[in-house]
Amino acid sequence: MKITKATRWRVFAGVWLQSLFTSATAYFSLFCIPLTTKFGWSDSDFALAYTIYMFTYCAVGFIGGSLAEKFSPRMTIYMGLCLFAGGWFLTGFAGSIPQLYIFYGLMAGAGGGMIYPACLPTALKWFPDRSGSISGLVQAGASCGPFIMSPIAQALIERYGAQMTCRILGIVFLIGVGAVAWMIVPCPEGWMPEGWKPSAEQAKVLKTRDYSLGQMCKTPVFWVLLLMFIFANAAGTMMVSFTSPIAQRQVGQTAMTAALCVSIMTLSNMCGRIGFGFIYDILKGWNSLILLMIINGISMLMLTQASSLPFFILCVVLVGFSFGGLLVVFAPMVRMIFGSKYYNRNYGLIFIGYGIGAFVGPKISAYFYDTTGKYTMGFIGSAALAVAAIALIVAAKRMAEKMEAA
C-alpha cells in the first residue's frame, strides 16, 4: 500500500462517516410509540431491546477488535455491517417482542459492536501526533448522526410507518457504511507522520510495551481500569437517561421544555467530545480523566439543588460536557498503557465496562426514584461513583507507572 499525506485523513473521513451512520441507536426511541401502539407492547418491554442492544454491542467489541487485527478493519466492518444493516432491516418485520430482541437487540447490536473497535483504534493509530483531538472528532461523528438523521427518520416514520422506516434505514446503512469502508485501512506498525518529531511524552507512548489480550488481563491495572470505566459510565448515564423526567418532576417544566433540555444535553455531549479531545492533547490522559470526573461529580451535587430552569440547564451542560469526554479520553489511554500492536482487541475488551455501566447507571437512578419519590439520592450516588472513579484513576496511574519501570 502506498502511503501519502492524504492516507490517514482518508481513514479519518471513513471512520467519521461510518460513526455517523452506526450511531442510529441514539434515535431508536423514535420508534417506541409507533411500535408499542401498533402491537400493544409495554414501554418497558420495548426499552429492554435497547438494553440488549447496548450490552451486545459492548460484549462483542473484543471480537471485532480481534478480527480487525487478524484480517483487516475493512473486512471486519463488512462482516459487522451485514449484521447491523440486516438487523435493522429485519426489525422492520418484527411482530413480537422476542423478534425485536433478536433482530435489533442481538443482531444489530452485534454488528455495531464489531464495527466500532475496527474503526476508532485504527484511526488513532494513524494519528500518534494528535490522538486526543482525533478521538474527539471521531466521537463527535456519533453525536452528529442523531442530530442529522433523527428528523429524517421521523419524517420517514410519519410517511411510511415505523416498520418500513426500519427497512429503509437498514438499506441506507448498508449503502452508506459499505461505500466508505474501503477508506479504512490498517496503519503499518511503527509508521509515523513525515517530519513529525514526537515530544518526550509522545515518544514514551510509542515505546510502550505491547500487551496481548491475555497479558493485559493478567495485569492489575486492567481490572482497575475496567472497574473505573464501569463507575464513570454509570455516573454519567444516571443523569443522561433521565434528563426529561427530571426536568418535569424536579424542576416543574413542561414536556416540550424538557425535550429542549435533552437537546441541550446532546449538544453539550458533542462539545465535550470535541473539547476533551483537545484537552487530552494538552493535559494528557490521567489528568484529563481526573478533570472529567471532577466536573461530573460537582455537577451531580449541583443537581441536588436544581429547582430553577437556568440552574438546571447549567447542570445539564456540565454533565453532558463531561460525559461526552469519557470515551474520547479513555480510547487513547488504552493504547498509552498497553501499546498499539493489539490495540483493537484490547480496547474492545475494556469497552465491555461501558456496557455494564450503561446498564447499571439507569437502574440505580430508577431505584432511588421509585423508593424515595425523588432523584436526590441518585445524584448523590452518582457523585459517589465519580469520587470512587477518581480514586481508581489515581491507583491505576501508579500501577501503570510501575509497569513502565519494570
Global confidence as pTM: 0.79
The position carrying cell 488513532 is 124
- Any idea what DSSP says for residue 308? S
**CATH class, range 8-183:** mainly alpha
Cell output for 54: 447496548
Q: By the 8 A CB rule, do 124 and 135 touch?
A: yes
Check whether 18 has a pLDDT greater than 80.
yes
Cell output for 304: 441536588
The whole-number average pLDDT for the span 195-202 is 78
Domains of the chain by residue range: 8-183, 200-405
What is the predicted pLDDT for the residue at 206? Answer: 73
Rounded Cα–Cα distance for residues 80 and 63 (Å):
10
The whole-number average pLDDT for the span 226-251 is 81
- What's the CATH architecture for 200-405? Up-down Bundle (1.20)
CA-based max dimension of the chain: 63
The whole-number average pLDDT for the span 302-321 is 91
What is the predicted pLDDT for the residue at 1? Answer: 65
pLDDT-based confidence at 173, cuts 50/70/90? very high
Q: By the 8 A CB rule, do 67 and 118 touch?
A: yes
Rounded Cα–Cα distance for residues 401 and 368 (Å):
39
Closest CA relative to residue 81, chosen from 100, 64, 66: 64
Rounded Cα–Cα distance for residues 106 and 240 (Å):
23
CA distances from 213 to 134, 145, 150, 291 (A): 25, 32, 37, 29
The whole-number average pLDDT for the span 313-322 is 90
Check whether 278 has a pLDDT greater than 80.
yes
pLDDT-based confidence at 149, cuts 50/70/90? confident
The whole-number average pLDDT for the span 141-145 is 80
Cell output for 329: 479520553
Cell output for 342: 493489539
Cell output for 256: 416540550
CA distances from 310 to 95, 124, 222, 261, 266 (A): 43, 38, 41, 10, 17
CA dihedral of 158, 160, 163, 167, whole degrees rounded to 10: -120
How many other CB atoms sit within 10 Å of the CB of residue 339?
Answer: 20
One-letter amino acid at 350 equals I
- The lowest-confidence range among 56-60, 127-131, 256-260, 333-337 is 256-260
Q: Do domains 8-183 and 200-405 have the same CATH topology?
A: yes
**394 or 270: whose pLDDT is higher?**
394
What is the predicted pLDDT for the residue at 240? Answer: 66
Rounded Cα–Cα distance for residues 381 and 203 (Å):
39
What is the predicted pLDDT for the residue at 142? Answer: 80
Mean pLDDT of the chain: 87
Closest CA relative to residue 190, chosen from 174, 176, 178, 203: 203
Q: At residue 72, what are phi and psi to the nearest 5 degrees?
A: -170, 155
Closest CA relative to residue 124, chosen from 112, 137, 140, 111: 137
